[in-house]
Amino acid sequence: MTLARNTGYSRLIARVQWMGMDQELVLRTIDLLADRVLPLMRKELG
């Protein structure tokens, strides 16, 4: 969050799937980003 505040960046680009990854792991990663990371980022960056 400090980087976002210091630089003014408001976007995050994350690759959640790599060749050969199990689809279940990819979907779990997307769920975690949506359920845990995104709310924290929204709260911190307002």
Interatomic CA distance for residues 35 and 29, integer angstroms? 10
The predicted structure's pLDDT at residue 9:
78
Structure tokens at 29: 């990663």
The predicted structure's pLDDT at residue 1:
66
**Residues 46 and 10 sit within 8 Å (Cβ to Cβ):** no
Interatomic CA distance for residues 40 and 10, integer angstroms? 13
**Residues 38 and 1 sit within 8 Å (Cβ to Cβ):** no
**Residues 33 and 16 sit within 8 Å (Cβ to Cβ):** yes
Please state the pTM of the whole predicted model.
0.69
* Domain count within the chain: 1
User: Over the stretch 1-46, which tens digit does the pLDDT of each residue have?
Assistant: 677 778 887 777 889 999 999 999 999 999 999 999 889 888 887 7
The predicted structure's pLDDT at residue 5:
78
The predicted structure's pLDDT at residue 44:
80
Q: Which domain holds residue 41?
A: 2-45
Structure tokens at 34: 């949506």
